[in-house]
Structures are given as structure tokens and as C-alpha cells.
Amino acid sequence: MQPAEFDPQIWFHAGRGPRYEQLYRHLAQAIAEGALAQETQLPPERELAELAQVSRVTVRKAVAQLVADGVLDQRRGAGSFVRAARHREPYLSKLLSFTEYMLHRGKTPTSAVIAQGLFPPTPDEQLALGLSAADRVARIERLRAADGVAMAVEWVALPQDILPDPGLVGRSLYDHLRAQGTAPSRAVQRIKAVNLPASEAGLLNLPEGAAVLRIERTGFLPSGRPIEFTRGLYRSDIYDFVAELRLEANL
């Protein structure tokens, strides 16, 4: 990755979130795409701040997020290094969008919108989002792919006041929500093995009845308000998870 790639004219876009988040996403994408190869050392904090034309605090926050994601190692007295790919699997405790998850796996994510618009909420959406039948939700159905391979079919619903126009969402819903200051800070996610229905089998290029993962996630603002209800069917032969479990000290 050349020093010019840290120029804010390349990675910073007004209205798309705080500088540290945009720098973090820029570096994460560079790592995922190989522009920053394994074991590459990042420039020192002071130098990176000068190249990116930001404060050292901004650099520190972006790097800390990459360390938390498991894509960078910070070595005492040596600096920050890109970790080997085998260490990059995100934990279940990390709230990531599909786009972020695939970037961390070194894949190029793409999305195709199947349907979108404003609709009356379904009973499941009412329950998850605390809405009434008279409310409206922004709903987007997308086919998600990575490196050109169909990976998942996703349905996401948000209250209309959170997403008044679903057509404004680009590649990443979470990027759009961060730019608006309405991204969820935590989520409850349920994962279950199911057989693929015929209606989605063709989209995923799998036979009807194939084993897939069904994931339901409800995302919450820091205030506790639920603002995202996502349902998805994911290829179990490609999509997997790693969970870190800790034993409480007083047990």
C-alpha cells in the first residue's frame, strides 16, 4: 500500500461517518484485498497520522478497532502488523455486517437487490421492532455474494423513521446507518440449521432441501431501542462462525 493511499481524498467522504471509522474501513479493505499483505508493518502512529492528515487519536482508534477485529497484531516495541489469514475469523461477539464479515475473510462482497420499499410490518417484525400494525418498515431483500459466489439471501427490516428511503442504501447497510448516527451497538442473534426452501434454492445455486444456516438478528441502539430485524439463509458449506467462551471467575 503506497503512502498516497492514505491521502484523505481517497478514503474520507463527508457525511459517511467519523474519520476514525472511515480510516478503519479503508485499512480493513486494504488488508482484505491484499494491498496490505500478511506480516506487513503499518507506518508508526505519528507517520500514519501525518499521511492521513488526522490526529494520532484518530489513528489510535482505527488501529484499536482492527486489533479488536483480529486483523492486526500490536507487538510491544515493534509496532502494528497484519495478522495471518488463519487468525482473521471474527467472533460471534463482534457485531459485523455481511460486507464487513466477508472483507475480514479476504473476499470481495457484492449485493443484488431483489426487492425493497416501505411496507406494513409482518407479525415477526412488529414483535422484534416493537411496532404496531399501523406502522411502516423499510424492507430490503438482497442476494449476497462473495468473489462472485452466491452466499446468502437476506431480508432486513427497519422502522421507517430509521430508514425513510431504503433506496439510499449502498453496498453496506451498516455504513449507511453509521453515517446517519443510527447504527446498532449490540444485537441478539439466533442461528439454526434448516433445509433450503425451493424458493431460495435457485438463488443460491443449491438443490432444494440442502442444509443451510438460518440466522435472525435484532439490532439495538445504545438506548435499547430495537431498530434492525434481519433474517437470512446462508450457505453452511462456506459461511461459518467462531465463538469465544469465557468461564466466569466466580463459578
114 and 231, same domain (yes or no): yes
Between 108 and 44, residue with greater pLDDT:
44
Q: Which residues pair with 154 in a beta bridge?
A: 142, 232
Structure confidence by residue, pLDDT tens digits, 157-174: 999 999 999 988 877 788
Between 180 and 29, residue with greater pLDDT:
180
76 and 40, same domain (yes or no): yes
Structure confidence by residue, pLDDT tens digits, 197-233: 999 999 998 899 999 999 898 988 888 889 999 999 9
47 and 128, same domain (yes or no): no
Mean pLDDT of 68-72: 75
22 and 65, same domain (yes or no): yes
**Average pLDDT score over the chain:** 83
Three-state DSSP at 198 gives helix
Q: How far apart are the first and last CA of the chain?
A: 48
pLDDT at 91: 43
Between 71 and 151, residue with greater pLDDT:
151
42 and 135, same domain (yes or no): no
Query: Largest Cα–Cα distance in the chain?
Result: 59
CATH of the domain at 223: 3.40.1410.10
110 and 188, same domain (yes or no): yes
59 and 40, same domain (yes or no): yes
Between 13 and 47, residue with greater pLDDT:
47
Residue corresponding to grid cell 503499518: 42
224 and 137, same domain (yes or no): yes
User: Is residue 23 situated within a structural domain?
Assistant: yes
User: Is residue 248 situated within a structural domain?
Assistant: no
User: Is residue 167 situated within a structural domain?
Assistant: yes
186 and 123, same domain (yes or no): yes
33 and 78, same domain (yes or no): yes
Q: Which domain holds residue 117?
A: 98-235
User: Is residue 193 situated within a structural domain?
Assistant: yes
User: Is residue 216 situated within a structural domain?
Assistant: yes
User: Is residue 150 situated within a structural domain?
Assistant: yes
Structure confidence by residue, pLDDT tens digits, 126-155: 989 999 999 999 999 999 888 888 889 999
- Exposed e or buried b for every residue in 191-206, given b needs 16+ CB within 10 A? eeeeebeeebbeebeb
Residue finishing a domain among 58, 87, 116: 87
Total domains in the chain come to: 2
pLDDT at 90: 46
User: Is residue 126 situated within a structural domain?
Assistant: yes
pLDDT at 88: 44
123 and 43, same domain (yes or no): no
179 and 122, same domain (yes or no): yes
User: Is residue 92 situated within a structural domain?
Assistant: no
Three-state DSSP at 73 gives strand
Residue finishing a domain among 56, 87, 118: 87
